[in-house]
C-alpha cells in the first residue's frame, strides 16, 4: 500500500514540476522555437507577450479600427472642400492633415502591438463601453458644421485613448500594463487634447464671424487663415 501511495505522490510531484518548467521559455525553448511553432498557432511562452497585453490588446485593436475609420472620414471631408464648388483650400488642408495623422497613428499602433507579440486582425471587431464609434453620418456639410463634426470626432478619439490608458493603468495586477500606458500617455493623450482645444477654438471663432447678414466674406477670410496654419 505504501508503495502505491509513494508512486502516486511521485507522479503528482512530477506533474507539478512539469507545469512549473513550462512557465519558463528556457525549459521549452527547443520545442517552442521549432519550425512548427512559427505557424501562428503555437501557445508557447517563448514570445514577446508580457504584462497585461492579453487583456488590453482587444481595446487597442478597437482603437486602431477607429483611427482608420476616422482617417477615411477626414479624407472625404478634405475631398468635399477641395471640389470646384466649395473651393476651400484652407479647410481641405485642415482635414487632409487630420486624415494623415489618424492613418499614421494606426500604423504606429500596429507596430506597437506586433512589437509586444500581438497580432492585428482587421476581421475581428471588439466593442466595449470605451470604444470609439465608427458610425458614419453625412459628410457633405458646410464649413461651420464640418468643424463641429471634426471636434466631435477628436473628442471620441481622445476618450478612446483615455479608455485604453485607464485599462492599462487601473486594472488588476495580472491585467495592468505600465509600458502600454506610458506609450499612450506619450503619443496620444497630450496630442488629442491639443487637437480638441484647437478645433473647439476654430468652431467658436467661425460661429462668431458668421453672425452677420452675409457670412460669405467671413468664411472666405477664415479659410485664408486656415491656409496659413
Q: Where are the domains of the chain?
A: 53-228
For residue range 55-83, list pLDDT tens digits in order: 899 999 999 999 999 999 999 999 999 99
Report the pLDDT value the prediction gives residue 16, as an integer from 0 to 100. Answer: 44
Rounded to the nearest angstrom, the gap between the alpha carbon of residue 172 and the centroid of all alpha carbons in its chain is 21
Best CATH choice for the domain 53-228 from the list 3.40.1360.10, 3.40.50.1370, 1.20.1260.10, 1.10.3720.10: 1.20.1260.10
The residues near 82 (Cβ < 8 Å, ≥ 6 apart) are 88, 89, 92
* Ramachandran category for residue 176: left, alpha or beta (phi over 0 → left; psi -120 to 50 → alpha): beta
Per residue in 83-95, is it b (16+ CB within 10 Å) or e — as a string? eeebebebbbbbb
Looking at the predicted structure, is the pLDDT value of residue 20 above 80? no
Report the pLDDT value the prediction gives residue 40, as an integer from 0 to 100. Answer: 46
DSSP-derived letter for residue 52 is T
Distance CA 217, CA 209 (A): 9
For residue range 131-165, list pLDDT tens digits in order: 566 566 677 789 999 999 999 999 999 999 999 99
23 annotated to a ligand binding site: no
186 annotated to a ligand binding site: no
Distance CA 126, CA 59 (A): 7
pLDDT band at 179 (very low <50, low <70, confident <90, very high): very high
For residue range 81-115, list pLDDT tens digits in order: 999 999 999 999 999 999 999 999 999 999 999 99
Q: What's the pTM?
A: 0.80
Phi, psi for residue 207 in degrees, rounded to 5: -60, -40
Tell me if 59 sits within 8 A of 128, measured CB to CB. Answer: yes
Amino acid at each position: 500500500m505504501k508503495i502505491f501511495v509513494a508512486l502516486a505522490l511521485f507522479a503528482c510531484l512530477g506533474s507539478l514540476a512539469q507545469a512549473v518548467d513550462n512557465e519558463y521559455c528556457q525549459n521549452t525553448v527547443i520545442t517552442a522555437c521549432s519550425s512548427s511553432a512559427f505557424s501562428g498557432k503555437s501557445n508557447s511562452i517563448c514570445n514577446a507577450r508580457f504584462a497585461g497585453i492579453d487583456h488590453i490588446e482587444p481595446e487597442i485593436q478597437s482603437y486602431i479600427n477607429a483611427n482608420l475609420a476616422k482617417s477615411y472620414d477626414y479624407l472625404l471631408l478634405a475631398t468635399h472642400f477641395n471640389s470646384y464648388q466649395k473651393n476651400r483650400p484652407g479647410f481641405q488642408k485642415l482635414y487632409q492633415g487630420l486624415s494623415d495623422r489618424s492613418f499614421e497613428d494606426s500604423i504606429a499602433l500596429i507596430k506597437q502591438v506586433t512589437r509586444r507579440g500581438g497580432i492585428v486582425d482587421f476581421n475581428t471587431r471588439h466593442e466595449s463601453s470605451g470604444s470609439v464609434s465608427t458610425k458614419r453620418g453625412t459628410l457633405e456639410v458646410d464649413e461651420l458644421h464640418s468643424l463641429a463634426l471634426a471636434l466631435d470626432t477628436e473628442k471620441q478619439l481622445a476618450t478612446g485613448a483615455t479608455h485604453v490608458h485607464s485599462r492599462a493603468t487601473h486594472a488588476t495586477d495580472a491585467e495592468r500594463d505600465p509600458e502600454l500606458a506610458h506609450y499612450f500617455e506619450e503619443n496620444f493623450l497630450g496630442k488629442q487634447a491639443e487637437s480638441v482645444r484647437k478645433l473647439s477654438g476654430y468652431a467658436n471663432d467661425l460661429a462668431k464671424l458668421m453672425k452677420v447678414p452675409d457670412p460669405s466674406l467671413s468664411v472666405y477670410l477664415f479659410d485664408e487663415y486656415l491656409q496659413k496654419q
